[in-house]
Chains A and B, each alone.
Chain A
């Protein structure tokens, strides 16, 4: 594919390369993103720095133009796929380089809902921040959450919903946690475009996360609290 007029990624300075990767992510160029990630790693960048500065920052820009009606779903999906390809390289390295295991989260889109672009972004960002994430995928009935909690003993349960008709299902899950007497052992974070703070409160979640970055920050602060409680107790 590469013609003589192509940019040679390996010839670019770190700064130009990262810029170029933002553009390539914007254009959904998977192979170029994979190449860029490999070059940065070879130059000694840590997986974490590569993730945040090249990929996450690039996706942030995509998110802004999606919000502003400049990009639409096809473009965002291509970008998300390119990011995923980069992430596939980084994920095992992030574990290896012992970005310390901050905590464990089970996440899934609720029953009746098949939207997963946002949830996948949250998953990647959480992994990038050192969480172990068990992704249940889409269309999860309450039993799926309960089984996963029993099996993995997570610190956090994340739920995503994009439809006004499926959001109320989050309460079904939270009520089931209460019924089982395990609600207080687990932090429940919820997200998805139509949600808001009040809704999260009304259904009894611990917090609403506006975007993936907020999800990471919120998850970290809960882990910190938990840690402090353990130390104090």
Chain B
């Protein structure tokens, strides 16, 4: 069975996802430290209006306001009992806007990390993580999401848990990871390792890619590594609108609409077919990206020099961008190397 996303892809070739949820909700009055997901119940008009502004700007895919809407994250605000309801509402709001759009708009149910580390680093077992995600995804399905959009992931085990949950509930899914620490996820997984792992999942995700992170330039660099590792995959680029800068006590992102349009072209040249924005990307930025997507003639694969020339330097470049990769020091000076608990960092194995 082909999903709605696959249908649209085969019709269009390249499609536009939306921009930031969190950053824009702060603009609309969300307070620091509060759960954006509660607004699905208390401020439905604002949530729908943000979706509407992205659709008006040309988005083909809109993400539900449910990124942190799992019981572990909601527990920080004592809303865990409302997990299912808040997810259902999130999907319903997006669905209503999509239905009224007068053209195909896909509702992607956003699923972010649990916020807990998995055993042995943290308290959560992979099976428990699956349960946490199942509850969230059931709510999203109930509210009418077309697919599940697993995003901002950093641990392979957690991606696997979310994918398992999606399959259990019976929904198509996409997965994007965040490469924010020296070109890897903060857990140390490279774009290549993540891409290979995701591509080998069965059932396979509809699309894979990178989102958020440290800036548009770094994201393009990660996307290039993904398209190189798995050339056949449908790849998503959903990068931040530049880099956050403090102006007094306020955060502003450095990306202009012109920069984000350039970024969209680079993403296409790097092999991405679904392009969108993450933190800092407003409907205004997205409109510029829409025009870029509609008019861009595919160019050669960019290299680091061109990325820097077009949209600025990498904010957290991997140490091996050119040079000899740096090595771990230390290591127990044993005559015979005993296997160390963390010697094989958490990269995917065949499993």
Contact = CB atoms under 8 A, between A and B. Distances in A.
Find the residue from A7, A28, A70, A169 having the highest chain B CB count within 10 A: A70
Contacts, number: 126
A23 B333 contact: yes
A113 B341 CA distance: 29
A7 B332 contact: yes
Interface stretch (B201-209, B245-253, B304-312): B245-253
A68 B76 contact: no
A231 to B, nearest CB: 36
B88 interface: no
B137 to A, nearest CB: 22
Contact of B333 (A7, A68, A112, A114): A7
Given A69-B181, A196-B246, A202-B249, A166 B32 contact: yes
Given A74-B346, A77-B121, A198 B246 contact: yes
A70 B330 CA distance: 12
Contacts of A3: 336, 338
Given A69-B181, A74-B188, A78-B341, A6 B249 contact: no
B249 A199 contact: yes
Contacts of A165: 22, 26, 32
B117 interface: yes
A6 B337 CA distance: 9
Contacts of A74: 121, 187-188, 342, 345-346
B contacts with A: majority SS: loop
Given A7-B332, A169-B32, A114 B76 contact: yes
Range of interface residues on chain A?
Answer: 35 or more
A203 interface: yes
A73 B22 contact: no
A83 to B, nearest CB: 14
B249 A27 contact: no
A45 to B, nearest CB: 21
Contacts of A167: 32, 251
B144 to A, nearest CB: 28
Contacts of B183: 69
Contacts of B35: 112
Interface in A44-96: 61, 65, 68-75, 77-78
A68 B186 contact: no
A187 interface: no
A72 B246 contact: no
A205 B187 CA distance: 32
A110 B33 contact: yes
A199 B247 CA distance: 8
B32 to A, nearest CB: 4
Contact of A70 (B26, B316, B328, B334): B328
B299 interface: no
A23 B32 contact: no
Contact of A172 (B32, B328, B345): B32
Contacts of A78: 121, 341-342
A78 B318 CA distance: 23
Contacts of A166: 32-33
B249 to A, nearest CB: 4
Contact of A168 (B32, B319, B346): B32
B331 A111 contact: no
Given A69-B181, A112-B34, A166-B33, A5 B335 contact: yes
B103 interface: no
A119 interface: no
B348 to A, nearest CB: 13
Given A70-B326, A114-B76, A165-B32, A27 B340 contact: yes
B327 interface: yes
B139 to A, nearest CB: 22
Interface of B: 22, 26, 32-35, 76, 115, 117, 121, 154, 181-188, 244, 246, 248-251, 316, 318-319, 326-336, 338, 340-343, 345-346
Given A27-B332, A70-B328, A141-B33, 9 more contacts: A5-B336, A22-B330, A27-B330, A29-B332, A65-B329, A75-B345, A139-B76, A166-B32, A169-B32
6 contacts: A75-B345, A110-B33, A112-B76, A164-B244, A168-B32, A198-B246
